[in-house]
Structure 1
Amino acid sequence: MRRYHWLEALRLKEGMTQAEVAKRSGIDRTYYTKIERGKVPSVRVAMRIANVLGFEWTLFFELSCDVSSQKERDRSQSSTDEGKKGRT
């Protein structure tokens, strides 16, 4: 199993415990702990956790992921959205 270091980093950045993220996501804390340690969550659970911590849920399913790649994706999405606004 791969470890989701980026997930732990995001959780800590938000100042949340594993139990808090789990509760807000509607899952058991032990299951959340397994996810941080590398267990791949279901799409539904991935979406819930992403909603709580504020990131794109698809990160769980990418081969290599880190917080900086999420930030880069956010920047490029933002610039794409701005470009669409200008055309409407």
Structure 2
Amino acid sequence: MYIKEVNISGFRSYRETTVNDFSPRHNVVVGRNGSGKSNFFFAIQFVLSDEFSHLKAEQRQGLIHEGTGDRVTTASVEIVF
């Protein structure tokens, strides 16, 4: 089993829906500082781990994108296997 794609929207540094397709072989995540590499892996951890199920409302609010422009009110992370 391998991850085919990760869809991220409104989660931390990901404002717009972002789809990342993966190869069944090897994948490399690269980018400049502040481009969202760590948040990408944090999103995967968010979905696959139960450690976030015990967060309080204000802690969950901290996972939603906070940036300039229109306010984001929801966040989602989907992993397709």
Same topology, TM > 0.5:
no
Band the TM-score falls in, shorter-chain normalisation: under 0.3
TM-score by length of 1: 0.26
Q: Which has the higher strand share?
A: 2
User: RCO (CA 8 Å, sep 6+): is it higher in 1 or 2?
Assistant: 2
TM-score by length of 2: 0.28
Q: Which has the higher helix share?
A: 1
